[in-house]
Amino acid sequence: VGAYNMTQWMQFITLRPNVVMIDTTGKVHLIRKQETVDTIVGCEMVPEHLSSR
């Protein structure tokens, strides 16, 4: 599976997993951490006048 799949992911279907790169020596490198629910909602903001107190 090619790296091009990273750009074609449908985020609304499932959380994205870790992404690894295998170099020419066979060593595996983590290049993108898996998403969590906190990752998804962490960028969301609610205007102060609409938030619960």
Digit-coded pLDDT (tens) for 1-14: 555 666 677 767 78
Domain count, the chain: 1
What's 8's DSSP letter? H
Is the CB of residue 47 less than 8 Å from the CB of residue 25?
Answer: no
Q: What is the pLDDT of residue 40?
A: 83
Query: Domain range spanning residue 26?
Result: 5-50
Residue-wise pLDDT tens digits, 26-42: 999 999 999 899 988 88
Cα 5 to Cα 34: distance, rounded to the nearest angstrom: 15
Q: What is the pLDDT of residue 52?
A: 78
Cα 37 to Cα 27: distance, rounded to the nearest angstrom: 29
**If you average pLDDT over residues 11-20, what whole number do you get?**
82
Q: What is the pLDDT of residue 14?
A: 80
